[in-house]
Chain A
Amino acid sequence: MPNLKTDVLVIGAGPAGSMTAKWAAKSGAQVLMIEKRQEIGSPVRCGEGMSKAWLSDVGIKPGRWINLEVEGARIYSPSEKVFEINEKHAGNEVGYVVERDEFDKQLAIDAGNAGVDVVLKTAAVGMLKENGRIVGAKVKRFGETFEVRAPVTIAADGFESQVGRWAGISTNISMRDMDTCLQYRMTNVDCDVRYCDFYLGKVAPGGYVWIFPKGDGLANVGIGVQVSQVTGMADARNYLDRWIDHHPGYAKGKKIDMVGGGVSISAPLKQTVGDGIMIVGDAARMIDPLTGGGIANGCIAGKICGTVAAEAVHAGTPTKEFFQKYEKGWRAVLEEKLYRNWLAKEKLVQLSDETFDKVIEALQDFKLEKLSVHNILKAVHEKYPEVTKEFEAFL
């Protein structure tokens, strides 16, 4: 393949990449999006639970990627006391279980329809730099290496992002700020299609066990464990297998698929832009540190990122200064919640199983209007003031 030129080069065709590419193209830029896999969205590395209120804001229409709509979520304490979050508390937080591969494909289709050129089986292997600024990437396709030159390069290469780091922007995370995850798709399990279920405590140190129902006795059964809490090899798998063994409704199920991956649970990065480059989505560590959800944030930031990328192309100023518009834009929408949830996560991972039980118990008895970290603490404070001592900063 000969060397290529484009206005905006997007590396990675996940939700954040496709969303960025689409909005850059809609804003009049010529966009090339590369994806290292041969099939967008596959293999799926996701629990497939998604909130829904944000979708229309970024122009995503409901489609066949919706697997089913849940009524709520159930949080299980270590002694399996249950707190139910329904639409009334959570409003927009309750949502869909999705076919994630279909979702990613739909977003890539939307990008393609907006004029984005999509090239599969093409991986970035290094950056092109000139006078300290990024001017594109060196990419590899079918064993052949060539250059794509672009005034704006977007790093949307996911959790295992290397592009940002190649460009000299630190996206490093510590072991405290990462969960190692494993998930089985299981059939013949006793799950309730009305709820997504979450199990907290020592069953999953620093994380949780999740159940996302897919209908007809099928469910995604997965776990995230904080890497700093890992003591042996393959702890994520061992914890998950143990949890399944202890739950007869799941132990009788059949595993038909297995996926793994890393999820960042960090505070927001200090910097997500440089001269000629912007980072978006999981690569920019935009995952919610409390829930581990990254799709909504990636898409919301992607819309801003794509719009700013096109503006920079038109103005002829793809500089770090110009990209402050994106840096400030995504932070205005996402940063406060990311930071607050990171602080909450830092506290939660220290809680004992006894304390988790008390928290859930207190929530059962409290008439919770709207679900928020603040309201949860208020509920717990009323019943067990000693438990919330550590959390006074949030009250």
Chain B
Amino acid sequence: MPSKKHLHIESSGQLCIYCGACVGICPLNCIYLDETRITFDEKVCTRCEVCVKACPVGAIEIG
């Protein structure tokens, strides 16, 4: 099985504004917002990239 692409959510505050847009759009409900920390479930995430588009400030990258 090909390995999944790397997904990175920049949530140190450099870009991320903790708005939760990615959390709400994620079709698999696998992104979590904990005030100033965003995490996602590596195993559940399919790298569909919807969150990348939904992020208003470009804090999510897949590559």
Contact = CB atoms under 8 A, between A and B. Distances in A.
Contacts of A175: 25, 50, 53-54
Interface of B: 17, 19-21, 23-25, 27, 29, 32-35, 50, 52-58, 60-61
Interface in A254-282: 258-262, 264
Interface stretch (A81-89, A154-162, A370-378): A154-162
A159 B35 contact: no
A344 B25 CA distance: 22
Interface string A14-46: 000000000000000000000011000000010
Contacts of A180: 21, 53-56
A237 B20 CA distance: 16
Given A36-B35, A233-B61, A172 B21 contact: no
Contacts of A70: none
28 contacts: A45-B19, A123-B34, A159-B20, A159-B24, A160-B24, A160-B33, A162-B32, A173-B25, A175-B50, A178-B24, A180-B53, A180-B54, A180-B55, A181-B56, A182-B56, A228-B53, A233-B52, A233-B55, A233-B58, A233-B60, A234-B58, A235-B56, A236-B57, A237-B58, A259-B17, A260-B21, A261-B20, A262-B24
B17 A162 contact: no
B23 A160 contact: yes
A234 B24 contact: no
A175 B55 CA distance: 12
Contacts, number: 83
Nearest to A239: B56
A235 B50 CA distance: 13
Contacts of A233: 52, 55, 58, 60-61
Contacts of B58: 233-234, 237
Given A158-B20, A235-B56, A260-B56, 19 more contacts: A36-B35, A37-B35, A45-B19, A123-B34, A159-B20, A160-B24, A161-B24, A175-B53, A175-B54, A178-B24, A180-B55, A181-B21, A233-B52, A234-B56, A234-B58, A237-B58, A260-B21, A261-B19, A262-B21
Contacts of A160: 20-21, 23-24, 33
A179 to B, nearest CB: 9
Nearest to A236: B56
A261 B16 CA distance: 11
A326 B52 CA distance: 36
A310 interface: no
Contacts of B61: 233
A241 B27 CA distance: 29
A259 B33 CA distance: 16
Enumerate the 9 nearest inter-chain pairs by beta-carbon distance, A residue then B residue, closest first. Answer: A234-B58, A160-B20, A233-B58, A262-B21, A236-B56, A160-B23, A260-B19, A260-B56, A160-B24
A258 B24 CA distance: 20
